[in-house]
Amino acid sequence: MSKPIITVENLSKAYFLGHQLDRHQTFREAIMRMAKVPLQRLRERSGPSRDSVDAFWALRGVNFEVERGEVLGLVGRNGAGKSTLLKVLSRITEPTEGRAVLRGRVASLLEVGTGFHPELSGRENIFLNGSILGMKHSEIKSKFDQIVAFSEIEQFLDTPVKRYSSGMYVRLAFAVAAHLEPEILIVDEVLAVGDARFQKRCLGKMKEVSSGEGRTVLFVSHNMQAVSTLTTRCVLLKQGHVESVGPTAEILNQYIREGGGAADLIYTAPASDEKPKITRVELRTSEPHNVQANGKPMQVLIEITTPRAIESARLSFHACNALGDSMIHFWAHDDEREMCRTPGTYRLVFEIPKLRLYMGNYTLRMNLKEFAGGKEFDAVESICPFEVVMYGQERQGGWFRGSCTYLEESSWDVQKVA
Amino acid sequence: MAEEPPATVIDETVLAPSRGWIAVNWRELIRGRELLYFLVWRDVKVRYKQAVLGAAWVVLQPLFNMVLFTVVFGGVANFSTRMGDRWGHAYALYVFVAMLPWQIVSTGLNNGGMSLLYQTNLLTKIYFPRLYVPTSVVGGALFDFMISSLFVIVLMVWFHVAPSAWIVTLPLLLILTLACSAGAAYLFSALTITYRDFRFLIPFIGQVWMWGSFVAFPPSVLKLGFKMRIILSLNPMYGIITAWRKLLLGGAPDSITGFDPMLFASSVVVTAAFFVLGLFYFRRTERRFADIA
């Protein structure tokens, strides 16, 4: 069994706030300190004290392994330590404790266009940036045409980069980075820039790089869809610690569940004097504590308070999965039943006799509009988080997350024909 | 089941906390040297691309100093007459010959000293051997030297001055000068990142250093005491500049060039120590660059 390509053992990174080692000091202070207490300064400089009160541990005791050829996602809230971990693994900053072993060349994409110089042309910057990222001149030359084709800036190749639009800039930067050939590729949120089409191509390219060429990728993103598409395993970081490691679908669900915060089944918002608002949403699940059993009834109660009449009101809501994709769509239109034709508070009740959604974590998203093509008065997202479970339904081999989206009723029969 | 790639191909890097003085990773530096060339090329290209005067500016700056000194010291203060007929008239060349190596070191000090501060985005976003940053500045200085030396050749022809026999040692002297420049670049770039107010000291240090190196006239003109001369011997550039003069100004006596073998020897030693100090101080503080940038 080959050794994992990345081994992280008890990795910790502390920032000593206010301590001389991490804040850039002034020379004047240093001289004064040196003059005052030489011995004390020597002791301080020999290393940061672990029990220093102002130590902020961005990472503490992180352990995990990455196998060759794996695409590992790194998720967690802002401040969980993802970027710090990437910085350590990219050799940009040193760990305070513990260690990490990398068994392959690393290329990091923590920001696109690192090293681009505005005065140089696109062509020149391809070589410069590629070199900074670790490519040899011959490598860059052989891939030059591919890079230019991917970035789609052929006509502007010889103009200085300072004249590029931000979109062109990003495309070029990513194009160079995408054609690197490291054994390990570390990517941090770089896909957050650029338009949707570009993001799709980047994702495609990264997928090609990982599955086609068998490279190991360490991927950080807030885009759950991207993480889900690209990665097979994820590490969930919480406040500098590894909360859990596991298959992507499971980890994402866990992440969403935790993100729910107080996990209210009831959403409330104050009414407004100026426009119609969704003032209350209550989710009544079949089981207690936000849990809904598959195949059992579910109720959604929605209250709308409007200060004026709405012409042809429409309320639409979706049950969305952990990635934010809509799984089920429900709606209530004034055309079907009168609603919101006069100012006041209205309560809508949705009855779902058998919820067919498969096990997983879901939230509700809804909006309130007027006639088709009209104004949207209110919209809420990610409310009423609930979890669907397979209670009371036995199956040989058990139920696995992520295997399907919903369970449909069907009957089947078999006959021997030959 | 993945097959184990041949052991020679695996690049194992261990990332762990480091302490104290750190050795220079020569293998890494040599392996990635292409990047160094690129960084030098980038600096040079950008500087020369912008202005039509691009290449001319490199010559213009020391030229300007030369003119200034010639007017102030040669004309006004009359140092040139004190240097005698032969060399007094060639005063412009005299100054320029000293400016050549001085520019190399001055670039290392000023540009090199600030080089890390100007590249904080590179420091915090990507890994490459940090030593390349100040080293590329010295590389740029070498390039500027080549351009300026053309002008020196013009001046030498104009004043009918031939280089002395020592000219064969020019490559060695050049390397020594570059080492001094690099030492300054390493030391001061690390200092400016670590102590943020240090950057304001640099122009001041540059000025003091220049005057202490006697660029504009030989110290014999000033009749310095023994104590002063001991202090002077600690300034590596003083010895280096006298050596450049000895090389290029064929036939100039030591009273004009200021050359003294003992002094030069001490300059070599001090330069070597300075280079090593700069290098190791840089390596020692390198690990914190990204944190404090």
Tell me the per-residue pLDDT of B171-204, one tens digit each, with 9 for 90 and over.
Answer: 999 999 999 999 999 999 999 988 888 889 999 9
CA distance A255 to A179: 32
How far is the alpha carbon of B289 from chain A, nearest alpha carbon, in Å? 8
Per the model's pLDDT, the better-predicted residue between A220 and A230 turns out to be A220
Per-residue pLDDT reduced to its tens digit, B99-109: 889 999 999 99
pLDDT (0 to 100) of residue A178: 77
pLDDT (0 to 100) of residue B187: 95
Q: Give me the residue from B1, B11, B46 closest to A105, CB to CB.
A: B11
- Tokens encoding B160: 């009918």
Whether the Cβ atoms of residue A203 and residue A25 lie closer than 8 Å to each other: no
Average pLDDT over residues B242-246: 91
CB contact under 8 A, B125 and A111: yes
Average pLDDT over residues A388-417: 81
Helix (H, G, I), strand (E, B), or coil: what is residue B117?
helix
CATH 2.70.50.60 segments of chain A: 266-389
Q: Residue A188, Cβ neighbours under 10 Å: how many?
A: 22
Q: Is the pLDDT of residue A81 over 50?
A: yes
pLDDT (0 to 100) of residue B279: 94
Helix (H, G, I), strand (E, B), or coil: what is residue A267?
strand
CA distance A31 to B112: 23
CA neighbor of A298 nearest in space, from A349, A332, A261, A260:
A349
CB contact under 8 A, B290 and A96: no
Q: How many alpha carbons lie under 13 Å from residue A295 in its C-beta half-sphere? A: 10
**ipTM summary value:** 0.75
Of all residues in chain B, the percent with pLDDT exceeding 90 is 30
Interface A:B, Cβ pairs < 8 A:
127
Mean of per-residue pLDDT scores for chain A: 81
Q: Is the pLDDT of residue A37 over 60?
A: no
Residue in chain A closest to B48 (alpha carbons) equals: A119
CATH 3.40.50.300 segments of chain A: 6-11+64-258
CB contact under 8 A, A15 and B291: yes
Per-residue pLDDT reduced to its tens digit, A301-312: 999 999 988 888
Please report the residues numbered 36 through 55 in chain A whose beta carbons come closer than 8 angstroms to any beta carbon of chain B. 46-47
Most confident listed range (A130-139, A256-265, A314-323): A314-323
> For residue B288, which residues of chain A lie inside 8 Å, CB to CB?
21-22, 94
Establish if B50 touches chain A: CB-CB under 8 angstroms.
yes
Q: Which of A16, A17, A23, A24 to mutate to test the interface with B (most CBs of B within 10 A)?
A: A24
Q: Residue A232 — left, alpha, or beta (φ > 0 → left; ψ -120 to 50 → alpha)?
A: alpha
pTM of the predicted protein model:
0.71
Please report the residues numbered 127 through 186 in chain A whose beta carbons come closer than 8 angstroms to any beta carbon of chain B. 127-128, 131-134, 136-137, 183
CB contact under 8 A, A114 and B122: yes
Per the model's pLDDT, the better-predicted residue between A248 and B173 turns out to be B173
Per-residue pLDDT reduced to its tens digit, A268-298: 888 888 889 999 899 888 877 788 888 899 9
Confidence label for A397 from pLDDT (cuts 50, 70 and 90): low
pLDDT (0 to 100) of residue A41: 47
The arrangement of secondary structure in A6-11+64-258, i.e. its CATH architecture, is 3-Layer(aba) Sandwich (3.40)
Nearby residues of A213 by Cβ (< 8 Å), 6 or more positions away: A181
CATH among 3.40.250.10, 2.70.50.60, 3.40.50.720, 1.10.10.60 for A266-389:
2.70.50.60
CB contact under 8 A, A22 and B292: yes
Q: Is the pLDDT of residue A47 over 70?
A: no
Q: Which long-range contacts (CB under 8 A, 24 or more apart) does A80-83 make?
A: A80/A237, A80/A238, A80/A239, A80/A240, A81/A13, A81/A237, A81/A239, A81/A240, A82/A188, A82/A220, A82/A237, A83/A110, A83/A188, A83/A220
For residue A374, give Cα distances in angstroms to A311, A314, A367. Answer: 9, 10, 12
How far is the alpha carbon of A62 from chain B, nearest alpha carbon, in Å? 13
CB contact under 8 A, B126 and A90: yes
